[in-house]
Structure 1
Amino acid sequence: MSKVAISEPVSIWQLGAPLGEGPIWVERDQALWFVDIKSRKIHRLDPATGATRSWDAPGQVGFILPIEGGGFVAGLQTGLARFDERDGSFTAISAPEPDLPTNRLNDATVDPQGRLWFGSMDDGESDLTGAIYRLGSDGTCIKSTDHVAITNGPAVSPDGKTLYHVDTLVGVIHACDIQPDGTLANTREFVRIPNDEGHPDGPTVDSEGCVWVGLYNGWAVRRYSPAGELLEEVKFPVSAITKIAFGGPDGKTVFATTANKHIAPGDLAKQPHAGDLFRFEVSVAGQKNYLVREGV
């Protein structure tokens, strides 16, 4: 694996988001999209001009990912919906857990075949009711893992053969083999992070197959080799880093969402940039971001 040169993270959008999440670089408009779950907002940043725009969501929104042909899939508390940025409308696609009203959708990715993988979680962050799902070609949501309280990810390796997903409360990143039919096999522990080092949040995989993960209450982002070896750690001036995304013309600009939820008022005064969007530069690019093609 290459040794990564990393610049210091800097705040580029002072949002003070309670729970910034799900950054994704969208190639077709050369912009970064992300959400603020608790404020029920979708945000867009054009780094070339600095222009920003925001939309209201009809409920807590855990992620937003682009669809082939236009529009986005949004993960709402009630289920998957198509989001049209032109008029701000949401159209329901599928509800994976109609019997679990206290759950919400939390994080997602798209594999090289255009399949949407996403997670659910207990909104109270304690009950073992969350799971990882795959959106089938017929629009049904296929449960693919056992239940945990807080899922994060998933993320997929560049060859499309390995899926990583996070059990945040336990502190474990799991790896699974993706079978040709979309089922998961050979689930194993990839990395375990002690709680006193931070809780693993959203994972992202770079072009070398290394797994980057934000640490909630860990003041850092970490990079692990495909073998699970800790390679690099990027320190932040805020404690809760939720997820990163690679973007920019060469894929070497990293954007990081952060949060101020769960930070005590006295501690928050010491972290004036908690909840902001950050940026730093790296010498190894991210991998291509794929468009959702199946089930939408």
Structure 2
Amino acid sequence: MTQTAQLLVDSQCALGEGPVWHVERQQLFWVDINNKELFAASADGEIQQSWAFDEMMAAIAIVDRDTLVLVGETGLKRLDLQSGAVEHFFDLERDVPTNRGNDSRVHPSGAFWIGTMVKDEGPKDGAVYHYLAGKLQRISPMPPFRTRRASLLMVAAPIGPTPRPVAS
């Protein structure tokens, strides 16, 4: 059986990433990182809504029917889908202005795994973070113990969690 992928939404994003299906709303959410936008489309591919921001947004996590968490350049934001209100609630690498948030995933436990990466040319200084219950922990690399090998982590993109334990 051969399956052919078909275009669902012709959004013409400069850098479209992070698609997340919101079951309760029956909408697909994704970001256009470079154009600082978030989109929502129906299951048939019709763009139903978009939001513009003052900074790049790189990833999305669903909190509930009307709330998303966005990974932005400067930290984590809470977006109220009804009012459009955006609340910055956690700083992310404030001390590394050359970096931005990158791909991120929610683990079945509710933990949010967040990657960062360098925005442009510069030091390779990406990292992976674990956010849970209001606490953010940097997982890799851990300063001041960066090694030459660890500093090569330029684009940190947490992988998706598996639904069951992986046999070793």
**TM-score interval for Structure 1 and Structure 2 normalised by the shorter chain:** 0.7 to 0.9
Partner residue in 2 for 1:26 = 22
Aligned to 1:50: 46
Once the two structures are TM-superposed, the CA of residue 13 in structure 1 deviates from its matched residue by 2.0
Query: Is the Cα–Cα contact under 8 Å of residues 19 and 30 in structure 2 kept in the other structure?
Result: yes
* Amino acid in structure 2 at the alignment position of 1:99: D
Question: Partner residue of 2:68?
Answer: 72
1:115 aligns with 2:120: no
1:155 corresponds in structure 2 to: 160
Q: Deviation at 1:101?
A: 0.8
Match status 1:142 vs 2:137: yes
Paired AA for residue 115 in structure 1: A
How many angstroms does 1:6 deviate by?
5.3
Cα offsets for 1:75-126 (capped at 9, x unmatched): 0001001011112221112112110011100111111111111101100155
CA contact 1:125–1:149 (8 Å) conserved in 2: no
Q: TM-score, normalised by structure 1?
A: 0.50
Q: Supply the distance in 1 between the matched residues of 2:19 and 2:129 (Cα, whole angstroms).
A: 19
- Over 3 Å counting, the alpha-carbon distance change for 1:59 and 1:49 in structure 2 is closer
Three-state SS of the structure 2 residue aligned to 1:80 is strand
| Higher RCO, Cα 8 Å, sep 6+ | 1
Give the alignment's TM-score, normalised by structure 2: 0.85
Name the SS of the counterpart of 1:112 in structure 2. Answer: coil
Identity of aligned residues (%): 26
* Cα distance in 1, alignment partners of residues 105 and 121 from structure 2: 21
Q: Does 1:98 align with 2:94?
A: yes
User: Is 2:25–2:65's contact at 8 Å kept on the other side of the alignment?
Assistant: no
Q: Secondary structure of 2:24's partner? A: helix
Offset of residue 43 of structure 1: 0.5
Q: Which runs of 5+ in 2 are unaligned?
A: 142-150
Name the CA shift for 1:12/1:49 in 2 (closer, same or farther; >3 Å).
closer
CA distance in 2, matches of 1:49, 1:108: 23
How many equivalent pairs are there?
A: 158
Contact 2:110 2:132 in 1 (8 A): no
